[in-house]
């Protein structure tokens, strides 16, 4: 594919410049031939070499004088004709060249070739991001901050240009192309041994479906995370084994249902999966009372279903409300909710909360502003469709703001960077809310309400070589508490805790005790400060740091000193 792209670019250039180049060749040939025939001042014509040499610098209007000798009058007349012919030929050729450089097809071909070359030069793990909208931008930014590379496919030229404008730590190869075409995905690195995952994040469900199919057939060994706002497309993706299908509306509906019946678990989830560096201090929980949903589109429907599962009464406000079914227990009001009259007909004064779920940001803001005037105690959930309006939404300060791009990005990052987190959250849903409350209180009491660093560690030879060597050589018992100590001062515990331990043989331990011994092959999910992550990595990878953390002994550096120290210990 890359070779074909290179050849197509070359052939396109040669085809566009064929006539100008032939014109130049003919002019040069006629000029050299004439000087080789016309007699000079001594009666002898110029040699072919001298004629070609003279025309080469004269035709480009450089000028160098009459060499190898003085020209005759016929030669000077012929040179005068050749100069004008060459000027016309070069003007024609340069005009065609400039036209080619401005041609959209040629520029796209050159960009594709440059993109393919950049992807081939990636010899480190990367993720293929299809779609550089608000969601794709958030994902690329987060991956870049974590030191992970990404490759982008985007159809909109304006967004393609934005990639270079954003201040990323590493260059991101980007190509203006339709990700629904398998050949474009191949060119972007799908199937490369360094490609770690594919993210279909376009705003077109059909394009995301095509990406999911291509990933399943061309690279089934890597995870594919696909955005799908349509239930039909999501079902289609699931039918051929797509594991990670993200519907932002259904995801928020799950969060809302969890907040209604298990608020502690919801706050713990929000604290663990929030954007890094943000504060998610606990706010008031959504009340159980009468709710009003303004806008009965895709988002409104999944929210109403979530309220139904929790037995919460709902009043629906919509411009064109559907006729209630036989078993429909929802009250329906016709209107858009932006005016006080419609909200009063929906009994806004008796409502506990309101959801502005239309597809228009200004309508949503108008709805909640009017509702707050009528009932200041309302719990407000506000849908933001376009991130460009985020300042208005921040100024209003709703109890919960639904940002689809943020929900999708957080879910993608959680799956890609900390796959154990998904298992932990699933295990948390099986526990009672009091357990989640105790865990949340302990963690936030230690680390604060700033979103912590959450990461996974595999105790294998590749990821923890020092620990692997010690366990295999000495076979000691090493506990989690012994590992989680500072490699600079072993008396200081690391600012980190193990949330989940996965062991071979289907052994899973949630919030394991510090006294639990570790085994080779264990996979740990940890939460804590970023500095603790770096310190633990040093302990697991450096044999000297590990020895100090476990025993307090500082091993001498270097191979010779290590052998001397072991010889002294064996002599004792």
101 has a pLDDT exceeding 70: yes
374 has a pLDDT exceeding 50: yes
Give the whole-angstrom CA distance, residue 558 versus residue 478. 25
User: Average of pLDDT values for 296-305?
Assistant: 91
- Domain range 123-246, its CATH number among 3.30.2320.20, 3.20.20.70, 3.40.190.150, 3.40.50.720: 3.40.50.720
560 has a pLDDT exceeding 70: no
89 has a pLDDT exceeding 50: yes
Question: How does pLDDT run across 151-168, given as a tens digit for each residue?
Answer: 999 999 999 989 988 889
Q: Could you give the percent of the chain with pLDDT greater than 70?
A: 93
Would you call the peptide bond into 68 cis, given omega within 30 degrees of 0 as the criterion?
yes
Give the whole-angstrom CA distance, residue 303 versus residue 298. 9
Give the whole-angstrom CA distance, residue 16 versus residue 217. 38
Task: Of 264-278, 442-456, 523-537, give the lowest mean pLDDT range.
Answer: 264-278
375 has a pLDDT exceeding 60: yes
Q: Report the mean per-residue pLDDT for the chain.
A: 89
Task: Of 29-38, 88-97, 100-109, 390-399, give the lowest mean pLDDT range.
Answer: 100-109
Predicted local distance difference test score (pLDDT) of residue 1: 43
Is domain 452-571 classified as CATH 3.40.30.10? no
pLDDT band at 7 (very low <50, low <70, confident <90, very high): low
Predicted local distance difference test score (pLDDT) of residue 70: 85
Distance from chain centroid for Cα 280 = 23
- Which residues, other chains included, contact 111 with Cβ-Cβ below 8 Å and sequence gap of 6+? 175, 176
pLDDT band at 4 (very low <50, low <70, confident <90, very high): low
Predicted local distance difference test score (pLDDT) of residue 19: 93
Produce one character per residue of 124-148: b if its CB has 16 or more CB atoms within 10 Å, e if not.
eebbbbbbbbbbbbbbbbbbbeeeb
pLDDT band at 419 (very low <50, low <70, confident <90, very high): confident
Give the whole-angstrom CA distance, residue 207 versus residue 274. 28
Predicted local distance difference test score (pLDDT) of residue 224: 94
pTM, 2 dp: 0.79
Q: What is the DSSP letter of 475?
A: -
User: Average of pLDDT values for 261-282?
Assistant: 85
Helix-strand-coil percent breakdown of the chain, rounded to 5? Answer: 55, 15, 35
Look up residue 558 and give its two tokens.
């270097």
SS3 522: coil
Question: How does pLDDT run across 460-485, given as a tens digit for each residue?
Answer: 999 999 999 888 876 678 999 999 99
- How would you class 90 by CB atoms within 10 Å of its CB: exposed for 0-12, middle for 13-18, buried for 19 or more? middle
Domain map (residue ranges) of the chain: 2-101, 123-246, 250-419, 452-571
Task: Of 59-63, 234-238, 410-414, 510-514, give the lowest mean pLDDT range.
Answer: 59-63
Predicted local distance difference test score (pLDDT) of residue 327: 53
Q: Please state which CATH number belongs to domain 2-101.
A: 1.10.287.70
Looking at the domain 250-419, which fold is it?
Answer: Rossmann fold (3.40.50)
For residue 415, what are the CA distances in angstroms to 2, 5, 534? 31, 34, 21
506 has a pLDDT exceeding 80: no
User: Average of pLDDT values for 217-227?
Assistant: 94
Predicted local distance difference test score (pLDDT) of residue 564: 55
Q: Could you give the percent of the chain with pLDDT greater than 90?
A: 67
Instruction: Considering only residues 99 and 417, tell me which one the structure prediction assigns the higher pLDDT.
Output: 99
SS3 339: coil
Q: What is the DSSP letter of 457?
A: E
Q: Where are the alpha helices (DSSP H) in 321-418?
A: 340-345, 361-374, 390-396, 404-417
Pairing of strands 353-356, 453-458: unpaired
Whether the domain at 123-246 and the domain at 452-571 fall into the same CATH topology: no
Other Cβ atoms less than 10 A from the Cβ of 2: the count is 15
- How would you class 549 by CB atoms within 10 Å of its CB: exposed for 0-12, middle for 13-18, buried for 19 or more? buried
User: Average of pLDDT values for 181-206?
Assistant: 94
548 within 8 A of 490, measured Cβ to Cβ: yes
Q: Which residue has the tokens 């990595």?
A: 537
């Amino acid at each position: 594919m890359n070779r074909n792209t290179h050849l197509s670019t070359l052939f396109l250039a040669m085809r566009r410049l064929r006539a100008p180049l032939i014109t130049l060749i003919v002019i040069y040939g006629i000029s050299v031939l004439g000087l080789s025939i016309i007699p000079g001042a001594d009666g002898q014509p110029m040699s072919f070499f001298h004629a070609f040499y003279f025309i080469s610098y004269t035709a480009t209007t450089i000028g160098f004088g009459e060499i190898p000798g003085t020209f005759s009058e016929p030669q000077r007349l012929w040179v005068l004709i050749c100069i004008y012919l060459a000027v016309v030929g070069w003007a024609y050729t340069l005009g065609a060249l400039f036209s080619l450089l401005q041609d959209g097809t040629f520029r796209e071909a050159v960009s594709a070739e440059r993109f393919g070359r950049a992807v081939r030069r990636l010899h480190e793990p990367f993720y293929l991001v299809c779609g550089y909208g608000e969601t794709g931008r958030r994902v690329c930014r987060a991956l870049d901050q974590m030191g992970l590379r990404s490759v982008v496919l985007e159809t909109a030229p304006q967004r393609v240009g934005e990639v270079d404008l954003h201040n990323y730590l590493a260059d991101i190869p980007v190509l203006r192309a339709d990700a629904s075409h398998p050949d474009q995905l191949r060119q972007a690195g799908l199937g490369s041994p360094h490609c770690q995952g594919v993210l279909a994040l376009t705003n077109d469900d059909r394009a995301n479906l095509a990406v999911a199919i291509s990933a399943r057939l061309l690279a089934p060994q890597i995870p594919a995370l696909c955005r799908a706002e349509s239930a039909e497309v999501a079902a289609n993706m699931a039918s051929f084994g797509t594991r990670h299908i993200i519907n932002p509306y259904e995801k928020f509906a799950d969060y809302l249902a969890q907040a209604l019946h298990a608020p502690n678990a919801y706050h713990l989830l929000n604290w663990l999966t929030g954007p890094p560096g943000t504060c998610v201090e606990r706010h008031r929980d959504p009340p159980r009372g009468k709710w009003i949903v303004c806008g009965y589109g895709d988002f409104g429907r999944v929210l109403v279903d979530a309220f139904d599962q929790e037995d919460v009464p709902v009043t629906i406000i919509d411009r064109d409300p559907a006729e209630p079914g036989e078993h429909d227990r929802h009250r329906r009001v016709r209107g858009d909710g932006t005016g006080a009259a419609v909200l009063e007909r929906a009994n806004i004064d008796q409502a506990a909360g309101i959801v502005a779920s239309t597809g228009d940001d200004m309508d949503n803001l108008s709805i909640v502003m009017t509702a707050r005037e009528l009932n200041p105690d309302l719990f407000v959930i506000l849908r933001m469709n376009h991130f460009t309006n985020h300042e208005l939404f921040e100024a209003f300060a709703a109890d919960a703001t639904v940002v689809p791009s943020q929900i999708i990005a957080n879910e993608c990052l959680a799956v890609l960077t900390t796959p154990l987190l998904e298992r932990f959250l699933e295990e948390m849903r099986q526990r009672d809310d009091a357990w989640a409350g105790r865990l949340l209180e302990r963690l936030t009491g230690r680390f604060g309400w700033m979103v912590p660093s959450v990461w996974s560690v595999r105790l294998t030879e590749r990821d923890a070589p020092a620990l692997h060597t010690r366990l295999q050589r000495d076979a000691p018992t090493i506990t989690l508490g012994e590992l989680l100590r500072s490699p600079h001062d072993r008396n200081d515990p690391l600012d980190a805790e193990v949330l989940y331990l996965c062991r071979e043989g289907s052994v899973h331990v949630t919030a394991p005790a510090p006294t639990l011994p570790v085994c080779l092959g264990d996979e740990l999910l940890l939460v804590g400060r970023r500095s603790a992550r770096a310190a633990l990595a040093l302990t697991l990878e450096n044999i000297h740091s590990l020895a100090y953390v476990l025993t307090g002994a500082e091993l001498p550096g270097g191979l010779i000193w290590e052998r001397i120290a072991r010889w002294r210990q064996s002599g004792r």
